[in-house]
Amino acid sequence: MKETSLGPLMVDLAGTAMNATERTRLLHPLVGGVILFARNYQDRAQLTALCAEIAALRSPRLLIAIDHEGGRVQRCREGFTKLPAMRRLGEWWNREPNAARAGARAIGYALAAELRACGVDLSFTPVLDLDYGLSGVIGDRAFHRSPEAVIDLAGALIDGLRSAGMACCGKHFPGHGHVEADSHVAIPVDTRTLDEMADDLLPYRRLRLDAVMPAHVIYPQIDPRPAGFSPVWIERLRGEFGHGGVIFSDDLSMEGASVAGGIVGRAEAAWQAGCDMMPVCNKPDSVEELLANWHPQLDPLRSARIARLLPQEEIGNIDALPLCIAGRAVCHALV
């Protein structure tokens, strides 16, 4: 196991096991993490073996992450608890806020415990976007229209994640819920002023977040660049909002990132704006292009921030953990 630092790129794998090319790619000093998708999951035993193989490659070990929010965004299905869409918690909060808060914490614990038991370090959750009823790509992934409800429920979910030893990642800063376009396939533009965005920003002001993912959305009243490529937004997040954790760009392969040019230009723009780690998904040729042609001055402080997302303690038998059992029961009641 080679001693190294964690680089700023997060890359993916083609299938349920690593091939020789991927193993070599993960040893590159620009790589610091792996993002998993449904295609990388067969069953719990296979996922555990894959994560163990990834973890054994380097020291500190690569960060292993996944989008595992609930509802339609849950990469591991068979053998995992089916998680509800977060809007279901928001509906519950309207009727019984205290019960919904307790349910959110239990769901967060079950979500994190099940992933951690297989060796996954981080889920890109919670979604902090407000539910304006405008964004199809966000939709029921959002907890609620009210920022107070989002803060309440997301805060409880984060407590559950942390109780199981997992960090959180709030997304999509400063807010993706007020635009119709999907940044996976388009370049969304939100024409509101900063004052008009006050509600969207409240969760980022009030919650203590281990990581934040900016949106591939342009807010021209504040800056002509998408938030993930904008030093204006990222300096505000670091300074005014006091965020000292990791900043992930959203996937550099998405159409919303295309305003920054080709893949090298996108990575450089996100890096110069202040992002610590940049996922590049579903484009192995783009990863190879970056590894060959992008030459950033690596920053040990950014690497150290990423390393702090790695869980520090092992988790026990999740089937015997009361909060995990409670979380599963809540999920079964809501889905």
In single-letter form, the type of residue at position 200 comes to D
CA–CA distances in Å: residue 14 to residues 230, 254, 312: 31, 18, 28
CATH for 219? 3.20.20.300
Q: Which pLDDT does position 1 carry in this prediction?
A: 56
- The per-residue pLDDT for 333 is 95
Asked if 250 is an active-site residue, the reply is yes
Residue 155 structural domain: 2-334
Q: Tens place of pLDDT for every residue, the chain, 335 residues?
A: 556 799 999 999 999 999 999 999 999 999 999 999 999 999 999 999 999 999 999 999 999 999 999 999 999 999 999 999 999 999 999 999 999 999 999 999 999 999 999 999 999 999 999 999 999 899 999 999 999 999 999 999 999 999 999 999 999 999 999 998 877 878 899 999 999 999 999 999 999 999 999 999 999 999 999 999 999 999 999 999 999 999 999 999 988 788 888 999 999 999 999 999 999 999 999 999 999 999 999 999 999 999 999 998 888 788 878 889 999 999 999 99
Of 31, 27, 28, residue with least CA distance to 10: 31
Strand partners, 189: 218
Q: What is the pLDDT of residue 186?
A: 81
Q: State how many domains the chain has.
A: 1
Choosing from 12, 210, 250, 251, the catalytic residue is 250
pLDDT of residue 3: 61
- pLDDT for 153-209, tens place per residue? 999 999 999 999 999 999 999 999 999 887 787 889 999 999 999 999 999 999 999
User: Hey, which residues does 2 pair with through a beta bridge?
Assistant: 58
Return the pLDDT at 323.
87
Structure tokens belonging to residue 228: 């993930």
Q: Which one of 43, 184, 299, 319 is the catalytic residue?
A: 184
Measuring CA to CA, which residue among 335, 307, 216, 311 is closest to residue 266? 216
The model's pTM: 0.96
Task: Tell me how far apart the 2 most distant CA atoms of the chain are, in Å.
Answer: 55
